[in-house]
Every structure is written in structure tokens, then in C-alpha cells.
A and B are shown apart, each in its own frame.
Chain A
């Protein structure tokens, strides 16, 4: 098997760290723990990431980039905003089920430990790939007349807060049904809240 490139190795470290952060917690996981998990020396780990905080910021960018690229595929489709909402909800829940550590990291580490991210991840800098695609989804929906023009954050909060909340409830094992069984209802609710007013 070919030796992984430096870029691939970085990705492997991020994925390993992501696993440990989501199972063991961010503060209790140390760089030596991550090195051990990946069978690397601690010294070598530092060749890739100079500190745990830097690694934390790179991971959120990695997740944002992954979700952003998935959303971009949806944005590029020639379908209605209603269908796009359905697609976005599906992909978000799919990610939460298949790569739970990604959404967990976003909700439980990135949003809950702002002090780690304050330098270098100001505002939405580290999640710009994801937010940009959401902005484009909204903007195109409004331009086509399907969605109502409103403050971006009112719409963003409604959409992402709702999805994040559902994934959180799923993680807490509170939901009586499987997460993906809520896709239709949730898509419908989001569409009802965002669609243009009828004349």
C-alpha cells in the first residue's frame, strides 16, 4: 500500500481526533492520547498540528468543508427550493447517522467551547464553506420568488437550530422514532416557515 501523503495523514489525524473528542470529550483528550490512537509518536503528531487548539480549529474547517461540498451538490441541482430543503434535511440527518462525530463535534465542541475558537475562528470564519452554501440556497430561493425575503439570521437560525436540535435529541436518545423518519415532517415545517407569503 502506498504511503499516505502529508495531506492524507493530516486527514487521518483529524478523523482520529474527531473520534476521540466525541467519545472521550474534548478537554480530557490529549495530544498523546490522539498519537496513541493513531500509533504515532507524539513528536511526529506535532509535525502536523502544533497544538490541540490548532487541531480543533482545523477539524471544524474540515467538517464545514465536508458539509459545504454536500450542500453545494444540492445547490447545483435544478430543483425547487422546497426540494432543496428536503435534500438538505436528508443529508444533515444522514451525516448525523453515518458520521455522528461530525455533527456532535459541531454541536458539543465548536458551539460549546467558544474560548478555544476565539482566535482564528472569529465570527463564522471557520464554518464559511457551510454557511456560504446556506446563504446561496436562501438567496436563490428568494430571487426565484419561492422563499420570503427576510433577515438572514432569522432564517438561518430557524433552519439550522431546528436540525441541530433534532440531532441533539437523537443523541440524547429522547426521540421515540428513528431520526430519518422525521425528514418529511421537518422539511415540510421548514418550507412552511420560509416560503413566500401567498398573495
Chain B
């Protein structure tokens, strides 16, 4: 039997809805799940039907940040959520805006936030539904991570979550894990030009992979690539503070990166990097081919 799912949008750019469409086995997914409403995919009900009457569904997917005054089909997004939240089995926040507020927390709408959080801070707007929440952050959401989470819910699999309600299965790793540039990171080589295969982008080019939770380098995008593999820095899009400013530049204080790899004490980092910097590894300074 198909699991009935409702996808609604707060303040959103459609990025997550579009990202979801790149899932390579979408047809198979639609054999197992039915969208009673989705902003892009044809569905049984219209938006008007959905917002005015409760329509039976098991999982509520929320995309976009939430502001009290924001309306969909003339109805407050908060009211729409409250129409469904008590009845569904799980509420999945899709993307970083719905999870932490994302870029739309800075919109002209007052009190714009994620469902449970405004950046790292927990808010009480929907706190009574906290036990049902699974956060799948990302800008946009990784389609495979979203789909696999939905299958884990459907199949009633154990779904351990981190402190921000993100599934540990996909968010206990950093984006650094699996990065093809790790050798350059180890020896502190950042002679990188955007789009090239050589060099680590952590030291100068703003890469946030060592302090960003996500599976981008373990579950590749479109099954082929990731930002860091293709030569772009990780922008930390799954994290509460996203988006930071100057995404292509590593913020440093007198040469020391402001943000260090997760869990690495400053003294340990400085000692290790001091040792690595003392050696010049010619192979890593040259073009690969």
C-alpha cells in the first residue's frame, strides 16, 4: 500500500522540490508513496483542497521557512501545519530553511524560522510536535537522503537522530568524510583554483566540509559528484548558521581558521598543521596530469 505524503511549502525557492525530482528512481518511489499534494508533481488534491480541509496522510513534508504572516492559498502556513501536525505519524522538515530558517529567516516576514529551530536555538512554535520531527537539512536537500529517510519511516526502521533531529545514518559524518582532496588537507596544500582537481579548499577557499554534517561525499549527487570533488568549497548548507557570509573565503584570525574541524582542539590543530606545513610534498604541489 502506498504511503500518503503531503508536501507543503512555506517561504521557499522551490530548490528542494526541484532537487527531489533529480532522484534517479523516482518512478519506483512513486510506486511506494503517493503525494496527496506536491507543488510540482501532479496530485490528487489541489492546494486549496489541502489548506481548507484535512486530507488523510501519514507524513507531512515541510519545505521553506515558516513565518506567522505567510499564507498559502489565503491561509496562514502556521494554521495549515496545525491542521495536519496532530494527525500525521511523522513531520519531515525538508531542507535547511524548514529546519533552521536558512536564507529566508532574513526575509521581510517577521519571526521567520525553521520548524523547531531558529539557527541553533529551539523555538516553541511547534514544540508539542517535537517527537514526530525528522530534520533533513541541506540547501537543497540531498534527494537520496530524503528518499532513504522516507523509506526508513515507511518501513518502520529504527531512525536514530542527532540533537537537531537529523537522521544519524546520514548526518553523523562530516562532508570531509570521503572527500577526494583529503591528501591535500593532511599536508595543508591549498594551491587551488576553482574547478581544478588539485588542492584542498579548507585553508583559503572557504570550504566548510570538516565542520559540516552531511553525506555529500559518501552518497554522491546525481550518483556522480559532489561540490568538493568538482572543485567548489562545501558551503556548510546543512548547518544551522547557513548561509554564512563570504562563502569562498576562509575566515582567519591572524592566519588561524576561525572554524576548525569538528571536535579538534585548537592546540591539537595548530600542532598538527605546524608539522604538516614544515614539509614540502612535491607530488602534491604539482598538477595531477
Contacts and interface: CB of A to CB of B under 8 A. Distances in A.
Interface of A: 122-125, 128-129, 131-132, 135-136, 138-139, 141-143, 147, 149-152, 155
A123 B278 contact: yes
B278 A149 contact: no
Interface in B266-282: 266-267, 270-271, 274-275, 277-279
Contacts of A142: 253-254
9 contacts: A122-B278, A123-B274, A128-B274, A128-B275, A131-B274, A135-B254, A135-B256, A139-B254, A139-B266
Contacts of B275: 123, 125, 128
B258 A143 contact: yes
Interface of B: 252-256, 258, 266-267, 270-271, 274-275, 277-279
Nearest to A123: B278
Contact of B254 (A122, A125, A150): A150
Contacts, number: 53
Interface of A is mostly: helix
The 9 closest A-B pairs by CB, nearest first: A123-B278, A152-B255, A142-B253, A122-B278, A138-B254, A139-B256, A132-B270, A139-B253, A128-B274
Contacts of A155: 254
B274 A149 contact: no
Nearest to B279: A122
B253 A132 contact: no
A132 B267 contact: yes
Nearest to A150: B254
A124 B277 CA distance: 9
Contacts of A122: 278-279
A139 B277 CA distance: 18
Contact of A135 (B255, B258, B279): B255
Contacts of B256: 135, 138-139, 152
Contacts of B252: 149
Contacts of A149: 252-254
Contacts of A131: 274
A136 B270 contact: yes
Nearest to B278: A123
Give the residue among B254, B255, B266, B267 with the most A Cβ atoms within 10 A: B254
A123 B273 CA distance: 11
A136 B274 CA distance: 13
